[in-house]
Structure 1
Amino acid sequence: MNLFLYLRELEGGFDFEKAVCNHGFFMMAPNVWSPKRKSLSRPLMLSNSSLVMVTISHPHIHPFLVIQVHGIDNVRRDDEELIFQQVRRMLRFTSKEGGDVTAFHQLHKAAKESGFGRIFRSPSLFEDMVKSILLCNSTWERTLLMASRLCALQSKLADRTRRSRKRKRDQEPKKETCGNFPSAKEIASLDKDFINEHCKLGYRAKWIIELAKMVERKSLNLEEMEKREMEPAKVIGKLRKLKGFGVFATATVLMCIGYYHLVPSDTETLRLLREMHGMEECSKMTLEKEAQVFYARYSPFQSLAYWFDLIQNYEAKHGKLSELSPRDYNRVGGCSYMNQLKAD
């Protein structure tokens, strides 16, 4: 069954391919981008907490996205709205985000000309947060592998739950073999040894479980954080109290929420500043400050400007990210550069 999500008058314009293929999250499981079809496939959550596989595409010139829902002949109204909600979040279909794109384009002519401005994110903030932890102190190849293993684990957990049910609802959708990214509820029920047995996350497993338990018992209210009604400093304070959320992870999560004033600073940032902007004197010790100073001209969209530069750098080396085969994803990034820094 196909659903149609109308674009209407999206402020800042909209290019589906560019709205998806602009951040490493789109390469991480359970997202599957098809370079040939220009479509994005992944499982999404339904109102009864079951999963359904969808494929999202934007037919040329048409004023809507097509969301192909696999394995269901009739989608209930509440499930349709939940699917739309998750797709809107991934692609940033909100008036606030549209306004941000317009304001950023006024400061950054090259970004406007290229259609860059909507950073891809996950259907939920929890998934964004866990993936931000997976990005830290890891090679890109290993990060991709950890995300895949978490989705494989979710599939096993879902199969176990289905087998334990005495009866199935008549209209329950057919299940796909691909797992979704595990929810906070699923992770909170596990221990670190079990997760590491299946996913090999190392010390990250403990942090992710602690995060999931805080979300489940409502001591960390992600919905409140996403409203963007809190002062950024307050959000930063909440994040920095969490295990695993240093400078890079915090800035990445802020960007996912819609606060763009902090540049995510890690070895890739250092490589980019040295390689693209000739800042050879920049070091690990001075990186955070120098990155903020360099991109200050784009305030309050420093991280968008940084990410635009990073995408330009990647595509100059590897070609358009949207045209890469998934088997080539592990080549993107500066893994060898990170190893060089560790040796220094």
Structure 2
Amino acid sequence: MNSKEMGINCLEEEEIETQPCDHSKEDDEDEGRRTSTLPWCELELPLGEAAETFRLDKAVCSHGLFMMAPNHWDPISKTLTRPLRLSLVDDDYSSFSSAGSVLVTISQPPEHPNLLNVRVHGTKSLSSLQQHALLAQVSRMLRLSETEERAVKEFQKMYNMFNYGDNEDERNFSGRVFRSPTLFEDMVKCILLCNCQWSRTLSMAQSLCELKLEMHCHSSHFPVAKVVSTVADSPKSETDDFIPKTSAEKESRRDIKDCKSSQTAEDCIADSCLQFSHRRGCYASGQIGNFPSPRELAKFDENFLAERCKLGYRANRILKLAQEIVQGGVQLRHLEEVSNDSGLSSYNKLADQLKEIDGFGPFTCANVLMCMGYYNVIPTDTETIRHLAQFHAKKSTTRTVHRDVEKIYGNYAPYQFLAYWSELWHFYEKRFGKLSEMPCSDYKLITASKMKTEKRGTKRKKASIGK
């Protein structure tokens, strides 16, 4: 079957424009636009049954994971850009090198809303296996499987029944929660969500992708600038917060020392280095690589990883996880296969296995399981306690919060998390505006401390079922 029969359009050259993160006219005048000529090809991903209600902006901008590197959401063009791997072989991590990654841009064309366009930069052709790998990763990120689509529709039906009269147009959460293209990336990012400011969570994810970029460019004999970070280790909180309790501090600018090389930055982009302009701190280094693979992280020294990426104690947990995966102690494919059955028995089985991993406490486990498609358990932390107080006028504590959320959201079973997250996400957007329209330079400003200024005891228009 040829490329046209596979739904792939290949062009010899493309004009790529690096868009500013906040699309400031003033920045455009100061810095201009940078372009490079690269080949590209395009895949089409039919949405099938999801087409009726699917909107890319809602599907992507539905969880803080979309703000974390190497994801880049453009609020103007409504596109998602990031590197993806060309192989799904999870027991051969040598194929997960940067040379096996490509930069992709995902869009939902208005003239064809029943499909997604996946533009693959830097290549004119793809094998059928590579096409399958890329589309599978896009499907995972956007939860386009039949199982996930069924969950979305069942939750929407249940939510509408319990919340009749609500203005659905005002709610940007559709029941589809964004996640990473791989389970490993989800697991590491769930570790990064713990015990720190949101701005630092973003910084750690960015540093891991910068490390990946450095590894690839070194292997390509491309001298990479040393990146010096001055982000200090923040105090640990008593609970694992998704949104930090403390306000965000201004991130220090990173000094980049340019090195002479016969290879241009554009050449590096062609090898899947994500290039963005130096605008208001979206990616301070100006470049971003793919998220590292288990094998790539497993070879690092813990102290180096902690210092280079400012991971603190998380370096030990991430390193052990990567090593366990490489050595076969944690089998990602097996975990994914078990998660295909979304029943309670498989949930308990997976929860028991995840708890055996160092650093996977109740909050992290619940978040990872949510990423795997289980919505029956709500990851609870101080943010949950704050939300119950503000949204439900419910005084809760760390001892009672599990019981309280089950009482409030129990009638949404097995989609308790989706009901909770629908409320929480809507509350965030009332405070900060539509997150799909927010420039990435403002992501670090989203903090729980700013949520506390809302008047306490704000009640819903209609009491929650089960309260």
TM-score w.r.t. length of structure 1: 0.91
The structural deviation recorded for 1:3 is 1.2
Residue 16 to residue 156, structure 1, CA distance change in 2 (3 Å):
same
Matched, 1:145 2:203: yes
The structural deviation recorded for 1:74 is 1.4
User: Amino acid of the residue matched to residue 156 of structure 2?
Assistant: H
Larger radius of gyration: 2
The structural deviation recorded for 1:9 is 2.2
Partner of 2:271: 174
Matched, 1:333 2:447: yes
What's the secondary structure of 1:69's corresponding residue?
Answer: strand
Residue 77 (structure 1) aligned to one of 105, 124, 128: 128
Partner of 1:261: 376
Partner of 1:168: none
- Greater CA deviation, 55-64 or 35-44? 55-64
Structure 2 CA distance for aligned equivalents of residues 32 and 80 of structure 1: 21
The one-character-per-residue Cα deviations of 1:111-135 (angstroms, maximum 9, x if unpaired) are: 9944611100000011001000100
- State whether residues 12 and 101 of structure 1, in contact with CA within 8 Å, keep that contact through their aligned partners in structure 2: no
Structure 1 CA distance for aligned equivalents of residues 449 and 201 of structure 2: 11
Residue 404 (structure 2) aligned to one of 285, 290, 297: 290
- State whether residues 40 and 57 of structure 1, in contact with CA within 8 Å, keep that contact through their aligned partners in structure 2: yes
Partner of 2:62: 22
Partner of 1:60: 110
Residue 158 to residue 54, structure 1, CA distance change in 2 (3 Å):
same
What's the secondary structure of 2:205's corresponding residue?
Answer: helix
User: Amino acid of the residue matched to residue 59 of structure 1?
Assistant: P
What's the secondary structure of 2:80's corresponding residue?
Answer: strand
Residue 190 (structure 2) aligned to one of 120, 132, 153: 132
- State whether residues 51 and 115 of structure 2, in contact with CA within 8 Å, keep that contact through their aligned partners in structure 1: no
- State whether residues 45 and 83 of structure 1, in contact with CA within 8 Å, keep that contact through their aligned partners in structure 2: yes
User: Amino acid of the residue matched to residue 151 of structure 1?
Assistant: C
Structure 2 CA distance for aligned equivalents of residues 12 and 112 of structure 1: 19
What's the secondary structure of 2:221's corresponding residue?
Answer: helix
Matched, 1:198 2:308: yes
Q: Which runs of 5+ in 2 are unaligned?
A: 1-40, 88-94, 223-268, 274-286, 453-467
Structure 2 CA distance for aligned equivalents of residues 12 and 139 of structure 1: 38
Matched, 1:8 2:48: yes
Matched, 1:235 2:286: no
Matched, 1:308 2:422: yes
- State whether residues 272 and 289 of structure 2, in contact with CA within 8 Å, keep that contact through their aligned partners in structure 1: no
What's the secondary structure of 1:108's corresponding residue?
Answer: helix
The structural deviation recorded for 1:16 is 1.1
Query: What is the aligned length?
Result: 330
Identity rate of aligned residues, in percent?
Answer: 42
Partner of 2:434: 320
The structural deviation recorded for 1:191 is 1.8
Residue 158 to residue 292, structure 1, CA distance change in 2 (3 Å):
farther
The structural deviation recorded for 1:163 is 3.1
The structural deviation recorded for 1:61 is 4.2
- State whether residues 263 and 291 of structure 1, in contact with CA within 8 Å, keep that contact through their aligned partners in structure 2: yes
User: Amino acid of the residue matched to residue 305 of structure 1?
Assistant: A
Structure 2 CA distance for aligned equivalents of residues 96 and 112 of structure 1: 27
Q: Which runs of 5+ in 1 are unaligned?
A: 165-171, 339-344
The structural deviation recorded for 1:174 is 3.4
TM-score w.r.t. length of structure 2: 0.68
Residue 201 to residue 330, structure 1, CA distance change in 2 (3 Å):
same
- Greater CA deviation, 221-230 or 60-69? 221-230
Partner of 2:390: 275
Partner of 1:342: none
Residue 32 (structure 1) aligned to one of 53, 56, 72: 72
Matched, 1:45 2:85: yes
Structure 1 CA distance for aligned equivalents of residues 331 and 111 of structure 2: 39
The structural deviation recorded for 1:75 is 1.9
- State whether residues 42 and 118 of structure 2, in contact with CA within 8 Å, keep that contact through their aligned partners in structure 1: yes
Q: Which runs of 4+ in 1 moved over 4 A?
A: 335-338
- State whether residues 12 and 102 of structure 1, in contact with CA within 8 Å, keep that contact through their aligned partners in structure 2: no
Structure 2 CA distance for aligned equivalents of residues 163 and 19 of structure 1: 39
